Amino acid sequence: MSEHTQPSAAPSAPVAWWRAFRRMPDTVRVSTYVVAGLVLSLVVAGLFALALARRPLPQTGGEVEVAGLTGRVTVLRDDAGIPQIYADSPTDLAMGQGYVTAQERFFQMDVRRRSASGTLAELVGAGALPGDRVARTLGFRLVAQQELALLSPDTRAFLEAYADGVNAYLAEHDPSELAVEYTLLDLDGADTAPGDWTAVDTLTWLKSYAWDLGGGAADEVERVLVADAVGTPRAQALWPAYSHQTVPPVVSGGAVVDGRFEPGATQGGTRNPQRVGFGPRRVRAVEAAGRALEALPQWAGRGPGVGSNAVVVDAEASGTGAPLLAVDPHLAAQVPGPWMQVGLHCRDVGASCPWDVAGFSLPGVPGVVQGHNAEVAWGMAAAGLDTTDLVVERIRDGRVRTDRRSRPLRTRTEAIDVAGADSELLTVRTTRHGPLLSDIDPSARTAGDASAAARGADLDEEIAVAVQWAGSTPAPTLDALLDLALATDVETARQALSSWAVPAVDVVLADREGTVGVQVAGAVPVRKSGRDTTEPTAGWRSENDWTGRTLPFGALPFTTRPEDGVAVAANQAPVGSDYPFHLGTTWDPGHRASRLRDLVVSEPRDVDGLAEVQRDSLSPLAAVLVPALLAVELDPGYADDGQRLLEDWDLAAPAEGTGAAAAAYLNATWRELLALTFHDELPAPVWPDGGARWVEVVAALLESPRDPWWDDVTTDRVEERDDVLRSAMLEARDELTRRQAREADRWTWGHVHQLFLASPGLLGDGVALDLARRVVEPDPWEVGGGPGAVDATGWDAARGFEVTTTPSMRMVVSLADWDDSRWVALTGVSGHPTSSHYTDQTDLLVGGETLPFLFSPDAVAEAADSELTLRPAP
Please enumerate, by residue number, every residue annotated as part of a binding site for Ca(2+).
220, 386, 389
Q: How many CA atoms lie within 13 A of 468 on its CB side?
A: 24
Per-residue CA distances from 99 to 59, 66, 105, 871 (Å): 11, 9, 10, 12
What does the alpha-carbon distance between residue 247 and residue 243 come to, in Å, rounded to a whole number? 6
- The closest alpha carbon to 677, from 705, 653, 651, belongs to 705
Residue 525 and residue 550 in contact, taking contact as beta carbons nearer than 8 Å: yes
Sign, CA dihedral 328-332-338-341, equals: positive
The residue type found at 799 is R
What does the alpha-carbon distance between residue 808 and residue 812 come to, in Å, rounded to a whole number? 14
End-to-end CA distance of the chain, in Å?
A: 78
Three-class SS string for 508-561? Answer: EEEECCCCEEEEEECCCEEECCCCCCCCCEECCCHHHCEEEEECCHHHCCEECC
Q: How many CB atoms are located within 10 Å of the residue 366 CB?
A: 30
- The closest alpha carbon to 785, from 775, 777, 794, 776, belongs to 794
- The closest alpha carbon to 155, from 398, 401, 458, 481, belongs to 481
Contacts of 414 (CB under 8 A, 6+ apart): 118, 136, 425, 426, 428
- The closest alpha carbon to 298, from 211, 408, 228, 371, belongs to 211
Residue 469: its H or E element:
strand 462-469
Residue 811 and residue 821 in contact, taking contact as beta carbons nearer than 8 Å: yes
Which residues, in sequence order, are bridge partners of residue 782?
754
Residue 216 gets which letter from DSSP?
-
- Catalytic status, residue 308: yes
What does the alpha-carbon distance between residue 675 and residue 685 come to, in Å, rounded to a whole number? 13
* Positions at the binding site: 220, 386, 389
Residue 96 and residue 85 in contact, taking contact as beta carbons nearer than 8 Å: yes
Residue 188 and residue 769 in contact, taking contact as beta carbons nearer than 8 Å: yes
Contacts of 870 (CB under 8 A, 6+ apart): 63, 64, 65, 66, 69, 72, 73, 74, 75, 95, 96, 99
Contacts of 280 (CB under 8 A, 6+ apart): 447, 448, 451, 452
What does the alpha-carbon distance between residue 509 and residue 522 come to, in Å, rounded to a whole number? 16
From start to end of 591-662, where are the E strands? none
The residue annotated as part of the active site, out of 208, 308, 759, 808, is 308
Active-site residue list: 308
